């Protein structure tokens, strides 16, 4: 269930989760959310903290009463750390700060449900390691060497290079392949919350600790624990993680009993830990414990020979978005992609290909179909211009999709992978903005929408 009184935000989250294969109910105020908790059964509840009727904390408490097995993620305004801490102490599994993007909410949902993998849908979006160039082959050879061992691995590389994929490949090729693979995004939690996430806590150990909870180390026993973005944790937690690496033991928050675990640690970071050590932000002893076996992932601009293979992979991955109509990319468009610098690396390339497939009218992606936050210009061309914002890019994509289907909202919504209601809301917003030369067409669409709403 998604509970948020902001309809656009509610629809945004629902569409993200539906595309991942989940069934989603919506509540547009706290009272509705409380009622649904007594009528339906949920694995996960995502609730805004501030809502009319009942607030998110009341929804959290109702979930604990009526559906104690359900995980709860609380959304709170940017900068409201106190609200996040309050929610976590009251039993929330996780929190996300508004505003957030699709990746952040997907990661939060994956974290919430990874403790029960049988509940997760088998998604076609699970990406394997793709690359035949010599640099990626060197990386994969290191993976094959270290995977059968129990050594701690430190994976470094820029954002979007695929560090988590390499970590999962190490797990897949290891003797722990049948064991759990647990991931914690260290950048997503402050030190006050990350301790409970890693080590768990006892019932009553702090206000709102209504039940004993296992931490990530316990959940990963017999398997692998991925500490994503390890460079973002504070010095106090660094010392506690160092102890676990050295002694393989820890205590839950509020407990006296020492627990021992058999866990392999893989850590990732996109920051320069050497510089962090020089500045006193990262412990030298922890760095050497983590980097027993370092693996550095090259950025996409240094492995351009893999771009063609990656594009083919993404085309096959997203063909269902276009009813199987798109079969590939033409030479001019591919040359354009190969020539781009890709500051967002493989993740940026994937998003670019997905958008191009939505935009494409023929069986092949062309240069005209390629629109990216870093390649799109404000005029809607494909010239290189880093000045466009993500919001402007989305608006351009929606408008060009509407234009490509003759301003048929149903077909446009289908191509964009959103509901017609969401598209209608976007049209209303765009109508109030400077969207010339589309203003007249959007005004006409808005009038049609008003007539449809008022017609019995």
Co-location of 173 and 235 in the same domain: yes
Q: Say whether 128 sits in a helix, a strand or coil.
A: coil
What does pLDDT average to in each consecutive run of 10 residues of the chain (456 residues)? Answer: 92 87 90 90 92 88 85 77 69 81 83 56 47 87 94 94 93 90 85 83 77 86 93 90 91 89 94 90 94 94 91 85 83 89 89 88 88 46 45 74 78 77 78 56 53 39
Q: What are phi and psi of 154, to 5 degrees?
A: -115, 115
Other CB atoms within a 10 A radius of the CB of residue 50 amount to 15
- Classify residue 109: in a domain, yes or no: no
Distances from the Cα of 14 to the Cαs of 46, 105, 110, 241, in angstroms? 10, 11, 15, 36
138 & 284 share domain? yes
Which 3 state secondary structure label does DSSP give 328?
strand
Q: For residue 389, what pLDDT is reported?
A: 55
- As a whole number of angstroms, the distance between CA 91 and CA 134 comes to 48
If asked whether residues 310 and 292 sit together in one domain, one would say no
CATH of the domain at 60: 3.40.50.2300
Distance CA 198, CA 241 (A): 9
Shared-domain flag, residues 283 and 329: no
pTM exceeding 0.85: no
**Residue bearing tokens 């020089």:** 278
What is the dihedral sign for C-alpha 39, 40, 42, 48? negative
Q: What is the pLDDT of residue 384?
A: 38
Domain of residue 204, CATH code: 3.40.50.300
Tell which residue, 266, 261, 262, 283, has the closest CA to residue 274. Answer: 283
Identify each DSSP E strand in 99-205 by its residue range.
153-156, 181-185
- Residue 202 CA to residue 213 CA, distance in Å, equals 6
- Its domain, for residue 185, covers 134-298
pLDDT at 387: 45
Q: Phi and psi of 249, rounded to 5°?
A: -145, 160
Residues 331, 290 within the same domain: no
Q: How many CB atoms lie within 10 A of CB 147?
A: 18
Q: Kindly state whether residues 292 and 324 are assigned to the same domain.
A: no
User: SS3 breakdown of the chain: % helix, strand, coil, rounded to 5?
Assistant: 50, 15, 40
Total domain count for the chain?
Answer: 3
- Is 128 a member of any domain? no
Tell me: do 228 and 367 sit in the same domain. no
Name the DSSP letter for residue 224. E
Helix axes 409-416, 420-431, angle to 10 degrees: 110
Name the β-bridge partners of 265: 225
Q: 33 and 148 share a domain? A: no
Q: Determine, yes or no, domain membership for 115.
A: no
Contact at 8 Å (CB) between 348 and 372?
yes
Same domain, 279 and 321: no
110 within some domain:
no
Q: In what order do the strands lie in the sheet with 94-98?
A: 26-27, 2-3, 44-48, 71-77, 94-98
- Looking at residue 124, its pLDDT comes to 32
Which of 249, 268, 298 terminates a domain? The answer is 298
26 in the same domain as 94 = yes
d(Cα 63, Cα 411) in Å, to the nearest integer? 38
Asked if 313 and 284 sit in the same domain, the reply is no
Q: What is the pLDDT of residue 440?
A: 58
Residue 281 DSSP class: S
pLDDT at 161: 93
d(CA 324, CA 166): 29
> Distances in Å between the alpha carbon of 318 and those of 350, 357, 391?
10, 8, 22
**Residue 419: per-residue pLDDT:** 75
Residue 124 lies in a domain: no
Residue 428 and residue 316 share a domain: yes
Which pair of structure tokens corresponds to residue 401? 């999709």
Q: pLDDT at position 115, please?
A: 46
**pLDDT given for residue 242 in this prediction:** 94
Which of 62, 80, 103 finishes a domain? 103
**Helix (H/G/I), strand (E/B), else coil: 84:** helix
Which residue, of 248, 282, 298, is where some domain finishes?
298
| CATH code, 410 | 1.10.8.60
pLDDT at residue number 286: 95
């Amino acid at each position: 269930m998604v509970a948020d009184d902001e309809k656009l935000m509610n629809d945004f989250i629902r569409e993200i989760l539906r595309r991942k294969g989940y069934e989603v109910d919506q509540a547009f105020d706290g009272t509705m959310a409380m009622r649904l908790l007594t009528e339906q059964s949920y694995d996960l509840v995502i609730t805004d903290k501030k809502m009319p009727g009942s607030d998110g904390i009341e929804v959290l408490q109702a979930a604990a009463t009526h559906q104690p097995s359900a995980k709860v993620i609380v959304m709170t305004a940017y900068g409201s750390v106190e609200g996040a801490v309050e929610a976590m102490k009251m039993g929330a599994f996780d929190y996300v700060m508004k505003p957030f993007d699709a990746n952040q909410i997907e990661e939060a949902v994956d974290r919430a449900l990874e403790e029960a993998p049988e509940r997760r849908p088998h998604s076609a979006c699970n990406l394997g390691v793709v690359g035949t160039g010599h640099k990626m082959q060197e990386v994969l050879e290191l993976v094959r060497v270290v995977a059968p061992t129990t050594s701690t691995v430190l994976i470094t590389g820029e954002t979007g290079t695929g560090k988590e994929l390499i970590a999962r490949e190490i797990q897949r090729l290891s003797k722990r392949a049948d064991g759990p693979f647990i991931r914690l995004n260290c950048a997503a939690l402050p030190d006050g919350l990350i301790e409970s996430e890693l080590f768990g806590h006892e019932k009553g150990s702090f206000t709102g600790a209504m039940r004993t909870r296992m931490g990530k180390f316990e959940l990963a026993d017999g398997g692998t624990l991925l500490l994503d973005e390890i460079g973002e944790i504070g010095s106090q937690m660094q010392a506690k993680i160092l102890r676990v690496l050295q002694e393989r033991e820890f205590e839950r928050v509020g407990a006296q009993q020492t627990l021992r675990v058999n866990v392999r640690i893989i850590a990732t970071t996109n920051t320069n830990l050497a510089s962090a050590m020089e500045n006193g932000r990262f412990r030298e002893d922890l760095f050497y414990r983590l980097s027993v076996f370092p693996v550095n992932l090259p950025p996409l601009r240094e492995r351009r020979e893999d771009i063609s293979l990656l594009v083919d992979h993404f085309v096959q991955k997203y063909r269902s978005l276009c009813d199987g109509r798109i079969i590939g990319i033409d030479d001019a468009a591919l040359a354009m992609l190969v020539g781009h610098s890709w500051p967002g690396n493989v993740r940026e390339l994937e998003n670019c290909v997905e958008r191009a497939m939505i935009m494409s009218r023929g069986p092949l992606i062309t240069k005209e179909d390629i629109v990216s936050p870093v390649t799109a210009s404000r005029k809607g061309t494909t010239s290189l211009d880093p000045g466009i914002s993500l919001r402007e890019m989305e608006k351009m994509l929606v408008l060009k999709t509407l234009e490509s289907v003759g301003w048929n909202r149903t077909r446009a919504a289908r191509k964009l992978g959103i509901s017609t209601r969401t598209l209608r809301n976007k049209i209303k917003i765009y109508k109030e903005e400077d969207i010339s030369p589309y203003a007249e067409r959007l005004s006409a669409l808005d009038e049609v929408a008003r007539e449809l709403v008022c017609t019995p």
